[in-house]
Structure 1
Amino acid sequence: MKVEATGTIRPASVSRRSALRPNWTLALLSILYILSLVDRMILALLIAPVKAELGISDVQIGLLVGTAFAIIYGLLGIPLARLADSGNRRRIILAGLVIWSASTVGSAFATSYTMLVLLRLGLAIGEAALLPATYSMIGDLFPPQKRAPAASIFAALGAAGAGGAFILGAIIIDSVDMLRSMAAIPAAIADWRIVLILVGAPGLLLAVVLCLTVSEPPRGGHGAEARSEASLVTLVTHAKQHARMYAGLMSCAFTGTVSYAFVTWLPEMLRRDFGWSAAQAGSTLGWILVVSVLFGSLAGPRAAERLMRAGHHDGFILVSAAMVLLGMLTAILAAMQSSASALLTIYFFTSMFLSGCSNTCITSIQIVSPARMRGTVVATYMLLISMAGLGIGPPLTAWLSTNFFYGSIGPALALVAIAVGAPTLATQIWSRKGYKVRITAIAERNGEG
């Protein structure tokens, strides 16, 4: 038995259940995050059969995988973040889960490119609901001293989620072959359609689990500070005052153009140029992404913090710029390799540097942005990375490959890296002065000299 501060006796089993409930909710939401990325990225492993059956081009695939998803996902991010701050987050997540899972399953029955695009839009609508509501819920599930670790666990899983998506996708593709050998699947149904059903169905099952095991936590249930929002005028004024600094930070989002171009087209490049199967490409790339993204996401901010402690007030932007330079150079080098092993070895460092740049930027936003504006600034960054990454990277690579390189993907990826890397690096170097001014002002206000 446990005696409360009020003198009430509460069974120890109830106390343990109360302690476990936030951890279970965090675990389930993390699983949903990974599942959402599987549903989002699985088409990158199915490009060849989808193209063949629906008679579509590489450019149409790029628009399907990237732009169609990115526009809806990006535009809905900020409105859904606002809704999560006032509405029932459990219901928002549940609705999003059902919509994106049903859209994935529905894609298996698409008979035209237009139908596949519309279902892809449904996927984006559903997935756009997950992150804002989850981060808001974490703030009320855990006491102040446990919020940062909880959010970090969720973010780390998300950072490596694209790799996990490829690994799980490869497993599912292999399972289709096994089911075929057991005559458990009708021969008339194409493999890629079976894969989409197997990928989307677990989300519908987890929706039931979410309903039965997760409750909406009370807002401010752990004595959290009162929440307040900055007015639009205040936000605009602050952004104008520090436009030079924010230009450098927001330019990091354009590294996503290269990241998503590689993630989308590298499996197909391995198939076309080196004869790899979809499952082989997915599994190998998955493990490369998991390790490289986790390492880069941790190493970038840590290096920047060390520079800051050493007195370099522009430490974060210096690390970010260095990672942009190294990421783009390795991307160009990787794309031009004539062997799969060399390509993948160099791409490991590309992925590490580009993910390090992005996470360094997000960490920096927490330092330089006023508390009441951080959510909006982060949401703006995520909007940009969605638009510039998914919206531009995959279709631009396909267009360049088709129109200038006779269908060769490698040179197109290299050209995308050059086109994006040069202006991004220049913007970050230019923004150093604005960043130093802001950090110096914060340090003086806090009495740090």
Structure 2
Amino acid sequence: MTAGGKAQLSNRTWVLIVLSIVYFVNFLDRSIIYVVQEQIKADFQLTDQQVGLLGGTAFGLLYGAMGIPLARLAERWNRRNIVIFAVTAWSVVTGLCGFCQNYLQLLLARAGVAIGEAGGTPPSHSIISDYFPANRRATALALYTLAVPTGIMMGTMIGGWLASRFGWQKTFMILAVPGILAALLLTTIKEPPRGHSDALIEDGAAPSFGEVVRHALRERAYVNVVIGSGIAAFAAYGVQSFTTAFLLRNFSMDLASAGLAFGLIFGLGSGIGTVVGGIWVDRAAERDVRMRGWLPAIFLAATGPMFMLGYAQSNSMVAIAILFLAGVLSFMHQGASYGVIQNSFPPRMRATGVAAAFMAQALIGLGLGPLVMGMLSDHFAAAAYAGQSFSADCVGAGGVATACKVASAQGLRLALIIVAGAFVIAALYYWRVAAHIGRNTGGKPAAEEGIA
């Protein structure tokens, strides 16, 4: 492409900032359910399993199912405009959550939010990859992914404060506004030519879905990243969805304080992990590209035991401090993951490749993580209950009795410890990523092979 053509594109730093703001809003709207779910549970008299279905499965199934169709559109249509439509749609439906009067209505509304959010990330990843060259792509995607913990932190901190004063319904209404503003910001960036940063401009027709699938299956590093990231998401969404409840039930914290603690653990902690992990892996891969698998495996192998230790504590400050360290570790693999995913595909296939990875994270992580957490919590709470029937005595009656509260706290603690162990399983798949990258490159530095 000519120098004049390059000058017509948006400044790539500004593009990264705008798309990161959109991603921030994505997780702002997505994570608010975690801090208000105890209020919702009390209002609608729900079990933890129903809460898990609301916070995860209803969202995850639709998010996963719609990701690939919307990504296929992104490989044919203007990606920026698709993101504008997506953020507008999910923000409007987030506001509608505040008008729900029963569990079924809220379940359907959350599914609607998922459909909108499914159209935001794959096109954004594809745009970023066309603005940033391969040897800087992992860092750019790590900085973009920083919007995830930032959105979680602000969503839970602001959401906890709002919910403690105005209730969960008005909180949803208020948090619909940032997305509309983000949609307006998107109009300031330009759609880049596909393959721009790879010096390979693709103007032809997008490959068929079958071609993309066949290519993906040949990329064994990609396959292992998808499986590993899906299992890591199962553990991450599982523990995230009930950490606020853990703090409320086990330490009698108020909602605003629990939201603040959650924001520090999964917001600030995860933000540090995203940036440090992305830069660390990029630099290590300059010496040996297999570090893109080895380092994430080490990060994840340490994450599981750290979460287990945190949830086992009886002192709130000690628990929060240890969980903060676990939050740092839990996101250190993200930048490397997306770098491997993007570099496994030619430009016209990238949106679908990203969507498939996000589908795995949505179906395995969001779809199953919170639901399994809720089921285990209910099971262990019933086993720990000193009365006749935990379901009859504690769910229908709102769980106000002391015995109900004790059993509920104990059951949730044990469930969190068990689910956190899945991080270690995810580490095994990232270790295999290194083997497949090494087989293709002989362990040569990324710059030498043109791989990032």
- TM bin (shorter chain): 0.7 to 0.9
Q: Identity percentage over the alignment? A: 27
| Partner secondary structure for residue 253 of structure 2 | coil
- The amino acid that maps onto 2:82 is I
For residue 445 of structure 1, report the CA deviation from its aligned partner. 12
Q: 1:386 aligns with which of 350, 362, 377?
A: 362
For residue 52 of structure 1, report the CA deviation from its aligned partner. 1.7
The 5-angstrom pairing of residues 129-168 of structure 1 reads: 129-138=119-128, 153-168=143-158
The 5-angstrom pairing of residues 34-433 of structure 1 reads: 34-138=24-128, 153-173=143-163, 176=165, 191-204=167-180, 207=183, 209-210=184-185, 214=188, 217=191, 219=193, 225-227=200-202, 229=206, 232=209, 234-243=211-220, 246-247=223-224, 250-311=227-288, 314-367=290-343, 373-406=349-382, 407=408, 408-418=411-421, 420-429=422-431, 432-433=434-435
Conserved 8 A contact 1:253-1:358: no
For residues 379-419 of structure 1, the C-alpha deviation after alignment (integer angstroms, 9 at most, x for no partner) is 2222111222211111111100101244321110111123x
For residue 258 of structure 1, report the CA deviation from its aligned partner. 1.5
For residue 273 of structure 1, report the CA deviation from its aligned partner. 1.1
For residues 139-169 of structure 1, the C-alpha deviation after alignment (integer angstroms, 9 at most, x for no partner) is 67x5879995766543332353222322232
Unaligned runs of 5+ in 2: 383-407
| Range 150-159 or range 112-121, more displaced | 150-159
- The amino acid that maps onto 1:416 is V
Equivalent residue number for residue 184 of structure 1:
none
For residue 435 of structure 1, report the CA deviation from its aligned partner. 3.6
CA RMSD, 1 decimal: 3.6
In the superposition, relative to structure 1, how do residues 60 and 204 fare at CA in structure 2: closer, same or farther (>3 Å)?
same
- Distance of 2:195 and 2:152 partners within structure 1: 33
- Distance of 1:412 and 1:152 partners within structure 2: 30
- Distance of 1:247 and 1:151 partners within structure 2: 19
Higher relative contact order (CA 8 A, sep 6+): 2
| Partner secondary structure for residue 169 of structure 1 | helix
Conserved 8 A contact 2:236-2:420: no
Aligned residues: 415
- Distance of 1:268 and 1:332 partners within structure 2: 16
| Partner secondary structure for residue 392 of structure 1 | helix
In the superposition, relative to structure 1, how do residues 201 and 143 fare at CA in structure 2: closer, same or farther (>3 Å)?
closer
For residue 355 of structure 1, report the CA deviation from its aligned partner. 0.8
Equivalent residue number for residue 8 of structure 1:
none
For residue 238 of structure 1, report the CA deviation from its aligned partner. 4.4
- Distance of 2:252 and 2:276 partners within structure 1: 34
| Partner secondary structure for residue 46 of structure 1 | helix
| Partner secondary structure for residue 391 of structure 1 | helix
- Distance of 2:267 and 2:123 partners within structure 1: 25
| Range 377-386 or range 243-252, more displaced | 243-252
| Partner secondary structure for residue 373 of structure 2 | helix
- The amino acid that maps onto 2:258 is A
For residue 53 of structure 1, report the CA deviation from its aligned partner. 1.6
| Range 111-120 or range 351-360, more displaced | 351-360
- The amino acid that maps onto 2:341 is I
In the superposition, relative to structure 1, how do residues 87 and 314 fare at CA in structure 2: closer, same or farther (>3 Å)?
closer
In the superposition, relative to structure 1, how do residues 432 and 245 fare at CA in structure 2: closer, same or farther (>3 Å)?
farther
For residues 351-370 of structure 1, the C-alpha deviation after alignment (integer angstroms, 9 at most, x for no partner) is 22221123332233345556
TM-score normalised over the length of structure 1? 0.79
- Distance of 2:84 and 2:319 partners within structure 1: 40
Name which one, 1 or 2, has greater alpha-carbon Rg: 1
- The amino acid that maps onto 2:233 is G
Conserved 8 A contact 1:245-1:435: no
For residue 268 of structure 1, report the CA deviation from its aligned partner. 1.1
- Distance of 1:74 and 1:157 partners within structure 2: 20
In the superposition, relative to structure 1, how do residues 304 and 71 fare at CA in structure 2: closer, same or farther (>3 Å)?
same
- Distance of 1:245 and 1:193 partners within structure 2: 41
- Distance of 1:330 and 1:206 partners within structure 2: 36
Conserved 8 A contact 2:273-2:329: yes
- Distance of 2:430 and 2:449 partners within structure 1: 28
TM-score normalised over the length of structure 2? 0.79
For residues 71-96 of structure 1, the C-alpha deviation after alignment (integer angstroms, 9 at most, x for no partner) is 11112112212212322444423332
